[in-house]
């Protein structure tokens, strides 16, 4: 083998070893973790039920209920980067949301939920579409804390985004949803991958 050929072979072998080491390192690194929880207040639940509207989480999200705080939907954090405290980045969430209007017989489901730290908005993609819709905005008092590598947000109010309210009204053939309508509260616990 000539010297240039040996050098090229050595460089290729070095790149292969580096790629193997990088994949082994990333495979053993801790994945991103956490959850985002939408707490639907009893007041919103009762108003929605009277209008024939029901919203339920879809797998891999889970539902919960507390007599004092109302219904909740917990969405696992599946990916993300950035910082809550500097309003940079965001997280992707597992599961989905289904909205049903029993009076009109209409339904719409969403997947690919995400919370943008930049825009301070929860978005979701309607099934059959590729365009995200801004559904909810954390509002009111927002408390951000950091514990070790875990970042936490607690928003004492979660409101319907204008885009989400219009989209839901159109798809469900109702006039129930309005921009700024209080849904409940919102929490996020997010641990970046290491």
Query: In tens digits, what is the pLDDT along the chain, a chain of 194 residues?
Result: 443 333 333 333 333 434 444 444 445 678 899 999 999 999 999 999 999 999 999 999 999 998 887 899 999 999 999 999 999 999 999 999 999 999 999 999 999 999 999 999 999 999 999 999 999 999 999 999 999 999 999 999 999 999 999 999 999 999 999 999 999 999 999 999 98
User: pTM of the predicted model, to two decimals?
Assistant: 0.84
Distance (Å, whole) CA 66 – CA 68: 5
Nearest to 164, CA basis, from 127, 194, 136: 136
User: Which pLDDT does position 48 carry in this prediction?
Assistant: 97
For 10, the token pair is 């050595």
Tell me what pLDDT residue 150 has: 97
- DSSP letter (8 states) at residue 29: S
The pLDDT value given to residue 69: 79
pLDDT at 27: 52
Q: Give the per-residue pLDDT at 68.
A: 82
Other beta carbons less than 10 A from residue 169's beta carbon: 15
Confidence (pLDDT) at 194: 86
| DSSP strands (E only) in 1-126 | 33-40, 53-58, 62-66, 70-83, 88-93, 96-101, 106-116, 121-126
């Amino acid at each position: 083998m000539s010297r240039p050929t040996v050098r090229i072979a050595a460089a290729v072998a070095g790149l292969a070893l580096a790629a193997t080491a990088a994949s082994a390192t990333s495979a053993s690194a801790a994945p991103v973790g956490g959850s985002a929880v939408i707490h639907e207040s009893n007041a919103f639940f009762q108003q929605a039920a009277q209008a024939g509207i029901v919203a339920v989480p879809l797998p891999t999200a889970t539902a919960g209920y507390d007599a004092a705080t109302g219904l909740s939907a917990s969405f696992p954090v599946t990916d993300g980067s950035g910082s809550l405290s500097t309003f940079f980045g965001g997280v992707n969430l597992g599961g989905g949301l289904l909205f049903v209007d029993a009076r009109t017989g209409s339904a719409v489901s969403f997947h690919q939920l995400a919370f943008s730290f930049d825009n301070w908005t929860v978005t979701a993609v309607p099934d059959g579409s590729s365009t995200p819709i801004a559904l909810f905005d954390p509002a009111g008092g927002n408390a951000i804390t950091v514990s070790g590598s875990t970042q936490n947000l607690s928003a004492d109010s979660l409101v319907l985004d204008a885009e989400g309210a219009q989209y839901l009204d159109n798809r469900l053939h109702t006039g129930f949803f309005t921009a700024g309508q209080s849904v409940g509260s919102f929490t996020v616990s997010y641990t970046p991958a290491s």
